[in-house]
Structure 1
Amino acid sequence: MRRLLLASLFSTLIVAGSAGAATLDDLRWDYRVIAVFTPTDTAGQATADELSNTVGIAERDIAWFVVSPDALHSNLSQPIERASITGLHQTGGFEAVLVGKDGGVKARQGESLDIHAFFDAIDSMPMRQQEMQQQQ
């Protein structure tokens, strides 16, 4: 009986811990997503630090996520379901993925993160072109 009670309490905590966590679908139409998958936590922290200091993220409505073996970093304060991000990862090692506001994958990088190449891809998108015209 005690074992059943503990199992029930544990499963309740797991469900409660994920309550309120967003998914990629929840971000659709509000954010473009850059998801970076790194093979080590050290590389993940370095990439998160780089993205935190990158000018142009906010003006392009980018939500970024850096996924490493034991950590998930983001510029959003709302938690995200790790599984919804890791579903984008197609390689065993480093990968960076750009997802448009429509939820479609727009670009992938396999060697290292070239944020300016992603910015160029974003800035060429019709929706971004409209946003830039409206800001003028």
Structure 2
Amino acid sequence: MKIMMRFIALALVMILSGSLYAEPTATLSSLTSLQWYNRIILVNELPESQNVKAVFEQHKTQLQQRDIVWFIFDEQQLLTNYSGTLSADFVARTKEQYQLIPGKIMLIGKDGGVKFLLDRMDLEAIFTEIDAMPMRQHEMLH
């Protein structure tokens, strides 16, 4: 009986802990839902958007370490590492909210503020900018 109770208790702990750390699955309609959880990189209509995606994929671990969710907007499609679903008006709302200019890359901090604006993909510069942020400094210590 004791073994069965321990098994049930362990199973409950595993189920509950998994649900506490699961990524949000609700439909994302704006970046506000990611605030305080993720840094965001927005890539807006760069001619080499497929190359940018390849760079992101090559640096997947470093992006995850910095809690980065990225979105690449181009004329034909939206590319992202966000695991949930996006609302039909997500692109329009995001472009309007951040007044995105074609050909620009924007870094948004966990606080929702614009931190960095680039004309070309320079992931090392983005990482340097992030790693200098007080919140990131705190994360690296803990």
Same fold (TM over 0.5): yes
For structure 1, which runs of at least 5 residues remain unmatched after alignment?
A: 1-18
Residue 83 of structure 1: which of 79, 89, 92 is its match? 92
CA distance in 2, matches of 1:132, 1:78: 27
Equivalent residue, structure 2, for 1:49: 54
Within the candidate set 126, 129, 142, 1:121 is matched to 129
SS in 2 for 1:79: coil
Q: Cα offset for 1:67?
A: 0.5
**Structure-2-length-normalised TM-score:** 0.72
**Alpha-carbon contact 1:39-1:69 (below 8 Å) kept:** no
- Matched residue pairs, number? 112
TM-score (norm 1): 0.75
8 Å contact 1:34–1:65 — kept in the other structure?
yes
Q: Which runs of 5+ in 2 are unaligned?
A: 1-25
**What's the % identity of the aligned pairs?**
33
Q: Distance in 2 between matches of 1:22 and 1:49?
A: 25
RMSD: 1.7
Look up the SS of the partner of 1:57 in the other structure. helix
